[in-house]
Amino acid sequence: MGSSVFKPLIHLSTITNYPYVDFIFVTFAVLFIINAVTTFYRLLKMRWASEKAFADFPIENRHPIFGHVLLVKLNSEETIQDIAERADIFPYTDQLWLGPFHALLICYHPDTMKPVLSSSEPKDEFTYGMVKPWLGDVLLISKGSKWFRNRRLLTPGFHFDILRPYVHIFNECTHTMMDKWMKQYDNGMIEMFEHVSLMTLDSLMKCIFSIETHCQTEVSTNPYITAVYELSEMVVNRINFPPYFSDLIFHLTYSGYKWRRALRQVHGHSKTVIHQRKQALEEQKELGIKHKRKYIDFLDILLEARDENGKGLTDQEIQDEVDTFMFEGHDTTASGISWILYNIAKHTEHQRKCQEEIDELMEQKDKDVIEWDDLSKLPYLTMCIKESLQLHPPVPFIGRKLSKPIEMPSPTGNGKVTIPAGERIGLPIIGLHHNPHVWEDPEVYNPLRFTPENSKGRSPHAYLPFSAGPR
């Protein structure tokens, strides 16, 4: 091709041609103004729609521009206090405005959470969208038929027979952590969260990929683990810093650069492991060799999953689900376990009873190790765990965006109010658990609220550390 074909539309010399520059500038300015006006009008319509939809529900000191952003304290123990106070004043629902346009109807009560959670309304893209570049359109985020199909394909992964051998993995990983504590901290205090978090990552790497990373003992050597850590931390930082809600602003910052770098690392790792496992499986098939590992890991489940038409998950879907389970599985469990240890350390009377229960069970067994069947024989410990998840739920807040209207109990207690499609509903699990109209002395660590007698007559939607309903 001759170079003349590629004559640039704007030659450098024309830059000095003022009318030409003026024309470009004016065009851009007009397009920019049109875009800004239509966006502003769309946002205004959203504001009016939410104001109309939530008109019957109480609202507290809303600033016309900032909404409640200046009042809501994020990322601290104060947040719990704040949400509990709101639940005390507004036992069922109130409105939360994040700036001038984005509103959520916040539910604090089993009666208002139930209608939302009983349906399979989609997750709110506003918050869940922040993890989408990492996880893809997966079980956690997806909706409709895609969610339904993948949920069905993944359900075998939670069968007892699959989970049973994992207890040995958890024991092994916990022993590694305990050995570390015995060696390093025989007299001092332990900042345990990081250790517990590495232990849960170690467990997951074995349960998901059957990979031994030694991440508990060689902390900084595994780039995949480091990247998973970085991404989890950045998701939380982003949610806690409103300017980072904007993709454009976030990606222009150093955090945005680190996010992209960590994403490349995590996706690259998952791709490689999936590819290697597929090759190994094909070789085994050709040679007629059966499964060699002691247990079926999550990757096996995903690779072997088939729908009613015999169709499996694509490589991209497998990668996304693996990444999701790494994300969903490590921080939640690390937070849950750390709080349990904290609570029983603070309330030694309960700790002593847990210890006695475990000692008694061990005396009856010939092995000095907890196994799957033992888990149901530890009712006191189970109550202590439940109570810890009650006070400190690892997933404190979930959200939905309505795809169809739903009926909600009226805040006055008389009849129902219909919330139209398109509105966002916030479900602060932590607010429900600390709601004094639902729980007696919600701030007190009291495992006995979970005895069978004390649980009688309680709404199944009063205690939701793992959420409820189809999701």
| Residue pointed to by tokens 């038929």 | 145
What span, in angstroms and rounded, lies between the C-alpha atoms of 93 and 108? 6
What span, in angstroms and rounded, lies between the C-alpha atoms of 208 and 300? 9
Using the rule CB under 6 A, give the single segment among 46-54, 312-320, 360-368, 391-399 that binds ligand HEM. 391-399
What span, in angstroms and rounded, lies between the C-alpha atoms of 201 and 198? 5
**Site for ligand HEM, residues 123 to 142, rule: CB under 6 A:** 123, 139-140
33, with CB counted inside 10 A (0-12, 13-18, 19+), is exposed
Instruction: Name residues whose C-beta falls within 8 Å of residue 357's C-beta, 6 or more positions apart in sequence.
Output: 378, 379, 380, 381
Judged by beta carbon, residue 180 or residue 471, the one nearer ligand HEM is 471
Counting residues that bind ligand HEM (by CB under 6 A) gives: 18
325 is an interface residue for ligand HEM by CB under 6 A: yes
Using the rule CB under 6 A, give the single segment among 104-112, 266-274, 308-316, 460-468 that binds ligand HEM. 460-468
Q: What are phi and psi of 15, to 5 degrees?
A: -60, -30
CA pseudo-torsion sign 417, 419, 425, 427: positive
Q: Which residue is nearest to ligand HEM (CB)?
A: 329
Nearest-approach distance from CB 35 to ligand HEM, in angstroms: 33
Among 32, 148, 185, 466, binds ligand HEM (CB under 6 A): 466
Largest CA distance in the chain: 93
Using the rule CB under 6 A, give the single segment among 107-115, 263-271, 354-362, 394-402 that binds ligand HEM. 394-402
Binding mask 86-105 for ligand HEM (x = CB under 6 A): --------------------
**Site for ligand HEM, residues 140 to 179, rule: CB under 6 A:** 140, 151
Q: What are phi and psi of 117, to 5 degrees?
A: -75, -25
Judged by beta carbon, residue 36 or residue 163, the one nearer ligand HEM is 163
Among 177, 370, 385, 398, binds ligand HEM (CB under 6 A): 398
Judged by beta carbon, residue 67 or residue 394, the one nearer ligand HEM is 394
346, with CB counted inside 10 A (0-12, 13-18, 19+), is exposed
8-state DSSP, 123? B
Instruction: Name residues whose C-beta falls within 8 Å of residue 325's C-beta, 6 or more positions apart in sequence.
Output: 204, 208, 298
Instruction: Name residues whose C-beta falls within 8 Å of residue 291's C-beta, 6 or more positions apart in sequence.
Output: 284, 300
User: Tokens representing 290?
Assistant: 């059966």
Using the rule CB under 6 A, give the single segment among 22-30, 243-251, 325-333, 435-443 that binds ligand HEM. 325-333
Please report, for residues 21, 124, 209, 225, 265, the alpha-carbon distance to residue 272 in angstroms, rounded to integers and kept in the order given.
Answer: 50, 32, 11, 15, 11
471 is an interface residue for ligand HEM by CB under 6 A: yes
**Site for ligand HEM, residues 183 to 222, rule: CB under 6 A:** none
Nearest-approach distance from CB 365 to ligand HEM, in angstroms: 26
User: Tokens representing 404?
Assistant: 């169809």
Among 112, 197, 232, 333, binds ligand HEM (CB under 6 A): 333
Among 336, 426, 428, 447, binds ligand HEM (CB under 6 A): 336
Nearest-approach distance from CB 338 to ligand HEM, in angstroms: 11
- Identify the CA nearest to 297 among candidates 319, 312, 277, 323: 277
DSSP string, 42-94: HHHHHHHHHHHHTTTS-----BTTTBTTTTPPPSSHHHHHHHHHHHHHSSSEE
What span, in angstroms and rounded, lies between the C-alpha atoms of 316 and 270? 10
CB count within 10 Å of CB 59 equals 16
Using the rule CB under 6 A, give the single segment among 9-17, 225-233, 300-308, 462-470 that binds ligand HEM. 462-470
Nearest-approach distance from CB 207 to ligand HEM, in angstroms: 8
Binding mask 262-301 for ligand HEM (x = CB under 6 A): ----------------------------------------
8-state DSSP, 329? H
Judged by beta carbon, residue 59 or residue 378, the one nearer ligand HEM is 378
463 is an interface residue for ligand HEM by CB under 6 A: no
Nearest-approach distance from CB 278 to ligand HEM, in angstroms: 21
Using the rule CB under 6 A, give the single segment among 215-223, 256-264, 408-416, 461-469 that binds ligand HEM. 461-469
What span, in angstroms and rounded, lies between the C-alpha atoms of 90 and 438? 12
465 is an interface residue for ligand HEM by CB under 6 A: yes
109 is an interface residue for ligand HEM by CB under 6 A: no
Judged by beta carbon, residue 153 or residue 234, the one nearer ligand HEM is 153
Judged by beta carbon, residue 143 or residue 258, the one nearer ligand HEM is 143
Judged by beta carbon, residue 79 or residue 467, the one nearer ligand HEM is 467
Nearest-approach distance from CB 8 to ligand HEM, in angstroms: 51
**Residue ranges in contact with ligand HEM by CB under 6 A:** 123, 139-140, 151, 324-325, 328-329, 332-333, 336, 394-395, 398, 465-467, 471
